[in-house]
Structure 1
Amino acid sequence: MPARTAAVWAALDPLVGAGSPLRVLDVGGGSGMFAVPLARLGHDVTVVDPSADALATLRRRADTAGAGARVHAVQGDGDLLHEVLPVTDDGAGTSDSGYDVALCHYVLEVVDDPAVTLREIARALRPGGQVSIATVNRAGAVLARAVAGHPVEALALLEDRDPAPGRARPARRRFTPADLLALVEGAGLRPGTWRGVSVVADLLESTSGADPRAVRALELALAEASPYRDIATGLHVLAARP
Structure 2
Amino acid sequence: MPTPPVTEQLPARTAAVWAALDQVVGRGSSLRVLDVGGGSGMFAVPLARLGHEVTVVDPSADALATLGRRADTAGVGARVRALQGDGDLLHEVLPSAGGSDVAFDLALCHFVLEVVDDPAVTLREIAGALRPGGQVSVATANRAGAVLGRAVAGHPVEALALLEDRDPAPGRARPARRRFTPHDMLALVEGAGLEPGPWRGVSVVADLLEATSGAAPEAVRSLELALAETSPYRDVATGLHVLATLPR
Both proteins in one fold, TM over 0.5: yes
- Tell me, in whole angstroms, the C-alpha distance in 2 between the residues paired with 1:143 and 1:231: 7
Q: Answer yes or no: is the 8 Å Cα contact 2:144–2:237 preserved in 1.
A: yes
**What is residue 35 of structure 2 aligned with on the other side?**
26
AA of the residue aligned to 1:177:
P
Counterpart selection for 2:14 from 5, 23, 27? 5
Matches within 5 A, 1:218-229: 218-229=223-234
Query: How far 1:209 sits from its partner (Å)?
Result: 2.2
Structure 2 Cα separation of the partners of residues 18 and 119 of structure 1: 27
Supply the distance in 2 between the matched residues of 1:111 and 1:209 (Cα, whole angstroms): 36
Q: Where do 1:1-242 residues align within 5 Å?
A: 1-89=10-98, 94-95=99-100, 97-242=102-247
Question: For the residues of structure 1 that align with 2:179 and 2:41, how far apart are their CA atoms?
Answer: 23
Q: CA deviation at 1:207?
A: 2.7
Question: Shift in Å at residue 222 of structure 1?
Answer: 0.3
What's the offset of the Cα at 1:20?
1.2
Whether the 8 Å CA contact 1:22–1:100 is kept in 2: the answer is yes
Deviation at 1:205, TM superposition (A): 1.1
Structure 1 residues not aligned, in runs of 5+ = none
Which runs of 4 or more aligned residues in structure 1 lie more than 2 Å from their structure 2 counterparts after TM superposition? 86-89, 94-97
**Alpha-carbon displacement from aligned partner over 1:54-76 (angstroms, at most 9, x marks no partner):** 00000000000000000000000
| Distance across 2 between alignment mates of 1:86 and 1:79 | 13
Measure, in 2, the Cα distance between the counterparts of 1:192 and 1:70: 29
**Contact (CA 8 Å) 1:96, 1:126: kept in 2 or not?**
no
Whole-angstrom CA distance in 2 between matches of 1:110 and 1:220: 27
3-state SS, counterpart of residue 152 of structure 1: helix
Deviation of the 1:86 alpha carbon:
3.8
**CA distance in 1: counterparts of 2:95 and 2:67, whole angstroms:** 21
| Structure 1 residue 97 displacement after superposition | 4.0
CA shift, 1:53, in A, is: 0.3
What letter corresponds to residue 164 of structure 2 in structure 1? E
Identity in percent: 85
The TM-score, its normalising length taken from structure 2, stands at 0.94
Change (3 A) 1:3 1:88: closer
Contact 1:201-1:215 within 8 A present in 2 as well: yes
Code of the aligned partner of 1:15: V
Residue 33 of structure 1 aligns with an amino acid whose one-letter code is: M
Task: Indicate conservation of the 8 Å contact 2:132/2:246, yes or no.
Answer: yes
Count of aligned residue pairs for this structure pair: 238
Gaps of 5+ in 2: 1-9
Amino acid at match of 1:140: G
Give the structure-1-normalised TM-score. 0.96
**Cα deviations by residue, 1:98-154 (Å, 9 ceiling, x for unpaired):** 100000000000000000000000000000000000000000000000000000000
Q: CA deviation at 1:95?
A: 3.9
- CA RMSD in angstroms comes to 1.0
Q: Secondary structure at the match of 2:88?
A: helix
Q: Residue 97 of structure 2 contacts residue 128 of structure 2 at CA under 8 Å; is this kept in 1?
A: no
Output the CA distance in 1 between the equivalents of 2:203 and 2:106.
23
SS of corresponding position for 1:193: strand
